Chain A
């Protein structure tokens, strides 16, 4: 079955540690996105990539980094510079670069900083 997988589902980290969230898709989609969701709030865009080896900052990129070495993979690293990283992180993809398509979401990773 085609889809987006995110791992792990739950992640705990100590303050000051970097952590990497995985996002893999087998939909052959060109564009991939990372969102952060806090309780009672909408989804805020962290980074997006429209093509391999290229990515752009979203609205809240500070304290995060990404890479896009393969079409199917778009990992997100939450660095120690992110002041309040506890949140629900969602990865999404679209068939083509652009904003006229349905976004397919992964199941999400809930990150808690202890």
Chain B
């Protein structure tokens, strides 16, 4: 069951904020977030486990709403270096695989 990411793409100016959502129709155990630059390998951002724990990574943070089976990635005061494609990956409760969403393309302009 591939998670659904929204929006598909977003364009920001430097300093603006963005939210990327990741939703599942099934109960989740964990949500992983990665960022990928064009032609490169994905880079790990964070993992959120069941329990609604919020995590932060510099100006990038995320939350996990267990009731809604949804995670949101928050990018504040965006920088040019934030440009790339953001993927969420989900592990269902009692699942044995990490399944990635289709990605959200983020472009930050100066």
A: residues with CB less than 8 A from B are 35, 40-45, 48, 58-59, 90, 99-108, 110
Chain B residue at smallest Cβ distance from A102 = B44
Question: Other than the known A40-B102, A99-B96, what 12 A-B pairs have Cβ atoms closer than 8 Å?
Answer: A42-B101, A42-B102, A43-B42, A48-B97, A59-B99, A90-B42, A99-B30, A99-B98, A102-B32, A105-B43, A108-B40, A110-B39
Given contacts A43-B87, A108-B41, contact A103 B101 (CB under 8 A): no
A100 vs B31: C-alpha distance in the bound complex, in angstroms? 9
A107 vs B92: C-alpha distance in the bound complex, in angstroms? 27
Return 23 A-B CB contacts under 8 Å, by A number: A35-B100, A41-B102, A42-B87, A42-B103, A58-B97, A59-B97, A59-B99, A99-B30, A99-B91, A99-B95, A99-B97, A99-B98, A100-B30, A100-B49, A102-B44, A103-B32, A103-B98, A104-B44, A105-B41, A105-B43, A106-B41, A107-B40, A108-B41
* Beta-carbon contact of B91 and A43 below 8 Å: no
A2 vs B80: C-alpha distance in the bound complex, in angstroms? 28
* Beta-carbon contact of A42 and B100 below 8 Å: yes
Contact of A107 among B41, B44, B97, B102 (CB under 8 A): B41
Task: In the A-B complex, list the 9 residue pairs whose CB atoms are closest, starting with the nearest.
Answer: A105-B41, A42-B100, A102-B44, A43-B100, A99-B91, A42-B102, A99-B98, A105-B42, A42-B101
B54 at the interface (CB under 8 A from A): no
A92 to chain B, nearest CB (A): 8
A44 vs B103: C-alpha distance in the bound complex, in angstroms? 12
A27 to chain B, nearest CB (A): 13
A100 vs B43: C-alpha distance in the bound complex, in angstroms? 16
A43 vs B40: C-alpha distance in the bound complex, in angstroms? 13
Chain A residue at smallest Cβ distance from B87 = A42
Give the residues from 14 to 62 in chain B that come closer than 8 angstroms, CB to CB, to chain A.
29-30, 32, 34, 39-44, 47, 49
Chain B hits for A35, CB < 8 A:
100
Chain B hits for A45, CB < 8 A:
97-99
Chain B hits for A108, CB < 8 A:
39-41
